């Protein structure tokens, strides 16, 4: 790898590019994975773009729940595009290198949209809580202005997280190995590669994951405890089913996203779990953005009805 001096008073030379190990060196397996992830990415693009277009085109979907869902689809598009195209190129190329600047850009974009998604999912849980537990004041509480502020706040938290993580990364020196044992530039493996003091970066990573991740998780948890209590108090089975069906899609998405994310960033590091880490990372970087539009479109009657009306008018 090409290296350049960064400090005259030091013997350290800063790595200008990193090598990504990916998943395997076997050519047949690489082609298989390339085709599988290419199909996944195409479904992700079409599904999320489809959700955004459908929500904009259908007046019956102009409600807070679908306003949040449209932003979630946009965030999934961005976070997936920051990771998957580079991964696909690496499957069919001999050199799996990424420039230092490109690596930092990947860290920033992924951390920005990853944390934004955490808070959008939390806001969607809060929306369902108000709708089910306080239906009479729902139009007042979830006004267009309030929804805009909640979404804007989610993006600002994501931006703060992305900037904080990237700045802490940019202060690290990488003078030894430049091999990242993953398919994209993530913070944890980068910290482990650094030859400088990583205390601050570790603190920023753990604090961000704990403060932002756990606070958004707490909003989801408290909201669903209140929702489940409210649903159980409904006397009719039909009423219970209807109330629960409005939350099922969101709850499925939340379980996959939060489960894998918290597993990745809050667990103790271990060399023996590298392969498990990679596939857990695949789940929340590649699979979840694809599943979100499918979960919401296949399980949601309003979305299916809006799609039917849109296709009939055309």
CA distance 211 to 165: 14
**Bigger pLDDT: 309 or 121?**
121
Does the pLDDT of residue 9 top 70, yes or no?
no
3-state SS of the chain is CCEEECCCCCCCEEECEEEECCCCCCHHHHHHHHHHHHHHHHHHHHHHHHHHHHHHHCHHHCCHHHHHHHHHHHHHHHHHHHHHHHHHHHHCCCCCEEEHHHHHHHHHHHHHHHHHHHHHHHHHHHHHHHHHHCHHHHHHHCCHHHHHHHHHHHHHHHHHHHHHHHHHHHCCCCCCCCEECCCCCCHHHHHHHCCCCCHHHHHHHHHHHHHHHHHHHHHHHHHHHHHHHHHHCCCCHHHHHHHHHHHHHHHHHHHHHHHHHHHHHHCCCCHHHHHHHHHHHHHHHHHHHHHHHHHHHHHCHHHHHHHHHHHHHC
CB 125 within 8 A of CB 223: yes
Per-residue confidence band for 113, with pLDDT thresholds at 50, 70 and 90: very high
Q: Which residues are registered as beta bridge partners of 18?
A: 98
Q: Other C-beta atoms within 10 Å of 188: how many?
A: 17
CA distance 220 to 275: 30
Closest CA to 278 of 181, 165, 179: 181
Residue 158's CATH number: 1.20.1070.10
Distance of CA 130 to CAs 55, 139, 151, Å? 21, 9, 16
CB 68 within 8 A of CB 123: yes
Residue 310 included in any domain:
no
CB 26 within 8 A of CB 276: no
Ranking 47-51, 97-101, 245-249 by mean pLDDT, the lowest is: 245-249
Per-residue confidence band for 264, with pLDDT thresholds at 50, 70 and 90: low
Query: Taking each helix axis from N to C terminus, what angle separates 27-57 and 288-299, rounded to the nearest 10 degrees?
Result: 40
Q: Which residue has the tokens 């990771």?
A: 83
Ranking 117-126, 168-177, 260-269 by mean pLDDT, the lowest is: 260-269
- In this prediction, residues 199-215 reach a mean pLDDT of 81
Write down the pLDDT at residue 12: 64
Write down the pLDDT at residue 76: 92
Per-residue confidence band for 123, with pLDDT thresholds at 50, 70 and 90: very high
Distant-in-sequence, close-in-space partners of 105: CB < 8 Å, separation ≥ 6: none
Does the pLDDT of residue 272 top 70, yes or no?
no
Ranking 93-102, 154-163, 282-291, 292-301 by mean pLDDT, the lowest is: 292-301
Total domains, the chain = 1
Residue 174 included in any domain:
yes
Residue 151 included in any domain:
yes
Per-residue confidence band for 259, with pLDDT thresholds at 50, 70 and 90: confident
CB 212 within 8 A of CB 261: no
Residue 8 included in any domain:
no
Write down the pLDDT at residue 6: 39
Residue 252 included in any domain:
yes
Does the pLDDT of residue 310 top 80, yes or no?
no
Mean pLDDT of the chain: 82
pLDDT digits 0-9 by tens, 36-85: 999 999 999 999 998 899 888 888 888 898 899 899 999 999 999 999 99
Quote the domain boundaries for residue 280.
Answer: 19-269+276-304
Tokens of 167: 């700045």
Ranking 156-160, 192-196, 219-223, 252-256 by mean pLDDT, the lowest is: 252-256
Percent of the chain surpassing pLDDT 70: 88
**Bigger pLDDT: 25 or 5?**
25
Residue 36 included in any domain:
yes
Write down the pLDDT at residue 267: 59
Write down the pLDDT at residue 159: 94
Residue 45 included in any domain:
yes
Write down the pLDDT at residue 263: 66
Residue 146 included in any domain:
yes
């Amino acid at each position: 790898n090409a290296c350049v001096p960064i400090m005259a008073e030091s013997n350290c030379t800063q790595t200008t590019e990193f090598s990504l190990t990916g998943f395997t060196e076997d050519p047949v397996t690489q082609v298989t994975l390339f085709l599988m992830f290419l199909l996944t990415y195409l479904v992700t693009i079409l599904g999320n773009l489809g959700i955004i277009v459908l929500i904009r085109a259908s007046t019956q979907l102009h409600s807070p729940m679908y306003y949040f869902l449209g932003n979630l689809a946009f965030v999934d598009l961005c976070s997936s595009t920051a990771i998957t195209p580079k991964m696909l190129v690496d499957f069919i190329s001999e050199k799996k290198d990424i420039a230092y600047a490109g690596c930092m850009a990947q860290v920033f974009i992924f951390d920005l949209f990853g944390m934004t998604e955490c808070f959008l999912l939390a806001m969607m849980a809060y929306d369902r809580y108000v709708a089910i537990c306080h239906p009479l004041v729902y139009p007042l509480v979830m006004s267009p202005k309030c929804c805009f502020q909640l979404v804007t706040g989610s993006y600002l938290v994501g931006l703060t997280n992305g900037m904080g993580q990237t700045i802490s990364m940019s202060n690290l020196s990488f003078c030894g190995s430049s091999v990242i044992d993953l398919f994209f530039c993530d913070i944890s493996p980068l910290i482990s590669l650094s030859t400088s003091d990583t205390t601050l970066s570790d603190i920023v990573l753990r604090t961000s994951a704990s403060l932002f991740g756990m606070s958004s998780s707490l909003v989801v948890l408290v909201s669903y405890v209140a929702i489940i209590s409210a649903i159980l108090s409904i006397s009719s089975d039909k009423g219970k089913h209807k109330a629960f069906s409005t939350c099922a899609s969101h709850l499925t998405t939340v379980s996959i996203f939060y489960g894998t994310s918290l597993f990745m960033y809050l667990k103790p590091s271990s060399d023996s779990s590298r392969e498990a880490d990679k596939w857990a990372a695949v789940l929340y970087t590649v699979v979840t953005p694809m599943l979100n539009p499918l979960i919401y479109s296949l399980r949601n009657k309003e979305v299916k009805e809006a799609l039917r009306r849109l296709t009939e008018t055309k």
